[in-house]
Chain A
Amino acid sequence: MVELAIFLSTVLFVSLIQIAIPFLVKRTVAFGVTIPYEQTRNPKVLKYKKWYAFVTTVVALAVIIGLIVLSTILDETKLVLVGSLFPFFVLFSGLSLYFYFHYKITKLKKVHEWYSGIKQVHYADLDARSKDEMLASFVHFIPMIITVTLIILTVNLFEQLPNQIPTHWGPDGKPDAFTDKSWMSVLNLPIVLFVLQLMFFGINFFTKHSGIKINAGNVTSSKLRQLRLRKYSSWFLFVTNIIMTLLFAGLQLNLLYEQLFSDSFLLLLPFVFLLVVLVGALWLAVKVGRVDSDLEGKLATGESSKIESVDEDSYWKGGLFYFNPNDPSIFVEKRFGIGWTLNLANPIGYFVILFPIAIILILSFLIFKWF
């Protein structure tokens, strides 16, 4: 029953976000296509969004019913195997629909020449940076104190540790896989944690130094949205860092001092982590998604003028991947989803994201001898 509850809540979470996305993204981007403000209420655009929501809802319901039915037929192990595929059905159907409507709107925009007669400009606000409330990047150094403490503790206790180090825990919270004791295997968790904390620092730092994008067609709303996204996503990142640090610290302390925590407490930790991240993501989606989206309601009068920011569709591959060598920004706002995406034309971005992941993978290869 626990498995079923986890799968159901995952599917429910994924579906809710999925269904809501077209209404939470910037209203000037419909299915990854830039449209001028005067077309955001275009009946066809609204119809496509509603269809998308309807079909994804039906798929989500079918998946939920399917899961419940399967849980009565299959035994636990089979349910885990099959059930973990189900959230991907929802994601896949959403993505297929996205591409279908992306194509439809691209065509509409071209045929009706939505940008003819609109002056396209680059816009910047000299005040925006002073109003930016992103957390300072150095806050990500604070949890590193815990990491360093863990490393010192581990080094001091190394001699006393047993010769077998647990690497995997079963559903009952008891370890069921082990590796030989070595400096690498014992320090694996704190080192991975340290690399992740560095990555979080990098994400915050480079987001802060990325452009504050304001749409000249609706300065008030688009500026508020950008500032909110920057502020709340930096908070989200920091809270995630803290919770992640606590999770890793709990696991490492348990490795150092056997029986420090009860099995059920250790089982609970990852769920608390997951819950905080999911709730945080929803909160971010609501805070950001309310502004300058369809949810904001009608446009402030006088702002739907004939000036708009430059149509940058040519830099967005498939409406999803940003590749703009002219833009020094490393992170830019996502077009279909809430959050940030990489400017793939900027090598620093690859470094910030891929380098830490590569280090973590290499470490695990070395320790678990996957070669």
Chain B
Amino acid sequence: MIIVDTESDIPLYRQLSTQIMEAIVRGQLSPGDTLPSVRAFAGDLGVNMHTVNKSYHELEEKGIIEIVPKKGAVIIADIKSQVSSDHIDNIGKQFRPLIVEALVNGMNKEEIYDVITNVISKIYEED
């Protein structure tokens, strides 16, 4: 199930990337699965093909899918695999501005942990 919100401030392509990653996290998509073609997916969603294309390229850059000629977008991200220290560093860098914002608003460590725990359980709950 993929849902993108038209009224959100987050661009459609980024919402789409997040939704695809969530489907992988929930196990609805596994390594080796192929995503629909750009045309078919855009048709199903009723959005422009550029939106889907942009999202696929973003996911390719992040190493989550691989675009194989004639086969399409294949999932390569494996939730069971060992994450590299480079990747952890990278995620940490992306977290930093958000954590700073939380701290500057007076949140403490526990509160931030709680937020993260909540988000994680929400991701698994949604179907």
Which of A's residues lie within 8 Å of B, judged by CB? 119-126, 128-129, 209-214, 216, 219, 307, 309-310, 312, 324, 326-329
Contacts A126-B28, A328-B39 given; indicate if A216 touches B3 (C-beta within 8 A). Answer: yes
User: Which of B4-12, B59-67, B87-95, B96-104 is near enough to bind chain A?
Assistant: B4-12
B112 within 8 A of A: no
Contacts A209-B39, A328-B39 given; indicate if A125 touches B7 (C-beta within 8 A). Answer: no
B1 within 8 A of A: yes
Contacts of A309 in B (CB 8 A): 46
Contacts of B12 in A (CB 8 A): 122
Contacts of B47 in A (CB 8 A): 122, 326-327
CA distance A312 to B45 in the complex (A): 12
Minimum distance in angstroms from B31 CB to a CB of chain A: 15
Give which listed residue, A123, A209, A312, contacts B40 with CB less than 8 A: A209
Minimum distance in angstroms from A36 CB to a CB of chain B: 15
CA distance A212 to B36 in the complex (A): 12
Contacts A312-B46, A327-B46, A328-B49 given; indicate if A122 touches B40 (C-beta within 8 A). Answer: no
Question: A-facing mask of B29-45, CB < 8 A → 1, else 0?
Answer: 10000011001111111
Q: Which of B95-125 contact A (CB under 8 A)?
A: none
B79 within 8 A of A: no
CA distance A216 to B28 in the complex (A): 18
Place the interface of chain B in its size category. Answer: 20 to 34
Q: Is B5's CB under 8 angstroms from A124's CB?
A: no
Contacts A125-B1, A126-B1, A129-B36 given; indicate if A210 touches B43 (C-beta within 8 A). Answer: yes
CA distance A124 to B1 in the complex (A): 6
Q: Can you offer 25 A-B residue contacts whose CB atoms are under 8 A?
A: A119-B7, A122-B46, A124-B1, A124-B44, A124-B45, A125-B1, A125-B44, A126-B1, A126-B28, A126-B36, A128-B44, A129-B40, A209-B43, A210-B43, A211-B40, A213-B44, A214-B44, A216-B3, A219-B1, A307-B3, A310-B6, A324-B46, A326-B46, A327-B47, A328-B49
**What total of A-B pairs shows CB separation below 8 Å?**
75
Per DSSP, are chain A's interface residues mostly helix, strand or loop, or mixed?
loop
Minimum distance in angstroms from A124 CB to a CB of chain B: 4
Contacts of A123 in B (CB 8 A): 1-3, 45
Question: A-facing mask of B45-60, CB < 8 A → 1, else 0?
Answer: 1111100000000000
Give which listed residue, B1, B29, B42, contacts A211 with CB less than 8 A: B42
Contacts of A120 in B (CB 8 A): 5-7
CA distance A211 to B48 in the complex (A): 12
CA distance A219 to B2 in the complex (A): 12
Contacts of B40 in A (CB 8 A): 129, 209, 211
Q: Is B3's CB under 8 angstroms from A122's CB?
A: yes
CB-CB nearest 9 A-B residue pairs: A211-B43, A124-B44, A329-B43, A122-B45, A326-B48, A124-B2, A211-B44, A124-B45, A122-B4
Q: Is B29's CB under 8 angstroms from A126's CB?
A: yes
When C-beta atoms are compared, the residue in chain A nearest to B37 turns out to be A209
B74 within 8 A of A: no
CA distance A158 to B47 in the complex (A): 54
Known pairs A122-B47, A124-B2, A327-B42 / 4 extra A-B pairs, C-beta < 8 Å: A121-B5, A122-B46, A212-B43, A310-B6
